[in-house]
Chains A and B, each alone.
Chain A
Amino acid sequence: MVNTSPGLSILGFEVEALQSYANNLELSDLLAPLMLSRAVAENLACDGITGALLILRQAPRPTLAVIGRFDETQGAYLKARARHLQQLCHNLHYVSYRQAEKDCRVLADRLRARLGDDLNRFYFQAMPRGGMVILGLLAYCLNLDRQRFEPPFPPDAPLVVVDDCALTGARLASFLARQAGPRVVFAPLYAPDQLRDAIQRQEKRVIACVSAHDLEVANDEVPGQLETLEQWQAHLPGKRYWVGNPEHVCFPWNEPDTFFWNAASARAEKNWHILPGELCLKNRLPEQITPVPLQIQPDGDGLFKPAEHVVYGDYEGGVVIGQLEDGRVIGLENTAAAMWRALISSASIEAAVDRLQNEYMVDETALTADLHDFIEKLLGRGIIKEN
């Protein structure tokens, strides 16, 4: 059932998670929360969450809140993804274009070292789409002739299968199922060591797995209320050689999809992406989808400003205020909303009264008295403070 009053929920940010996000992407302290908030706005739009408003408060510490009338299902959706949002930021390992180029040189050296002169007999196949970026760079690093990576290849030609990253090997398994015969070297730029071992154990045709860098694996914990990783694997479609908890490797062109176990719905569900479309080609929104609106909370340069523990947004003509300290959500409607806006943007009581008198049919004496009374209530509840 949908609540009649709008609700306000805090979606972020956990301090260390945001720091990891900023450091990885080399973003300033102001830009990092903005980029992450834009990613959330895009995710909400993609998932069809309508009537939501995001609020980003930058100071004293970045906070992202969402205002809306959400039913129980939407509330559970937000809760699960907000929690994983922080974890993905902790886990982020961003690889820039420049870094990818350096990594391709390392991958080229490792392929030469592993295969020696035999490498000259191999043809090169890219995994769409991220693998195509890597193969383009690798072709320069290895000085490959075009026919070595331009299909069709000779029957039974040995292949180097190139990808930007491999996390469970699902794409390789799908490729091998369609491909008969050839010897294969699997060359994802980034992959967990455990995955490469698992592939070589399980696929006789794969004679080597070579990466430029290992992805660190955090732990062997099982998601949600599942008992084993095998149970988790059983809930994911397609063949996988290994499941685990590696770093969240991302590129300017690709952020891999990640999933979590939702005990309430008893299924694997997709996480939000954490890179906005402007930082990752794959995450750009289709033209027909508009991100959920994002308001940047003003500091308040009037006679009064919102207290440090207050998050607020202009929603459906009113103002919705969240108090982080006592956990209350207050609504200001009609005249009260106008008074709030006048108070935090006017330099004096007189200026606020003047502004409100232009907007409302009220005499100055009554308005001034009500405004003082309103200020006392807001100060008494710790919602505003004098600038």
Chain B
Amino acid sequence: METDSKQKPERKPYQKPELVEYGELKDLTLGSGSARRTDLKVGSWTV
């Protein structure tokens, strides 16, 4: 007897959809624009 290879995958249990609060987003770019080259120093032991 042939098996149906296109058989639908088993359906999953359903839950009511929720929006979960994960916390606060962090913007790590803040302060970088105005600082530009400040803080940036160069070392060259692979140059």
Q: Interface on chain A toward B: helix, strand, loop, or mixed SS?
A: mixed
Identity of the chain B residue whose Cβ is nearest the Cβ of A83 in the assembled complex: B32
Q: What total of chain A residues lie within 8 Å of the partner, measured CB to CB? A: 89
A83 to B36, Cβ gap below 8 A? no
User: Which of A79, A236, A257 lies in contact with B47, CB distance below 8 A?
Assistant: A257
Q: Are A166 and B22 in contact (CB under 8 A)?
A: no
Q: Tell which of A100-108, A284-292, A357-365 binds the partner.
A: A357-365
Tell me if B37 counts as interface (CB < 8 A to partner A): yes
Known: A360-B11, A361-B13. A327 touches B24 (CB 8 A): yes
The dominant DSSP class at the B interface is loop
A 73-105 contacts with B by CB, 8 A: 75, 78-79, 82-88, 90-91
> What is the CA–CA distance of A365 and B33 in the complex, to the nearest angstrom?
52
Interface mask (A167-195 → B, CB under 8 Å = 1, otherwise 0): 11111000000000000000000000000
Query: B41 touches which one: A6, A261, A361 (CB < 8 A)?
Result: A261
User: How far, in Å, is B41 (CB) from chain A's closest CB?
Assistant: 5
Q: Which of A268, A271, A358 contacts B11 (CB under 8 A)?
A: A358
Check A219 against B25 for contact (C-beta < 8 Å): no
Contact with A along B22-37 (1 / 0, CB 8 A): 1111111101110111
Interface stretch, picked from A11-19, A141-149, A297-305, is: A11-19
A344 to B38 CA separation, bound complex (whole angstroms): 42
A330-B22, A334-B15, A360-B12 known; A12-B29 Cβ under 8 A: yes
Can you list 20 A-B pairs, Cβ within 8 angstroms, ordered by A? A8-B26, A9-B26, A10-B26, A79-B26, A79-B28, A83-B28, A83-B35, A83-B39, A91-B40, A218-B37, A218-B40, A221-B37, A246-B42, A257-B46, A257-B47, A260-B39, A327-B24, A331-B22, A336-B19, A360-B13
Other A-B pairs beyond A328-B25, A360-B13, 9, CB < 8 Å: A82-B29, A85-B32, A166-B47, A170-B43, A170-B47, A218-B40, A219-B37, A328-B23, A359-B11
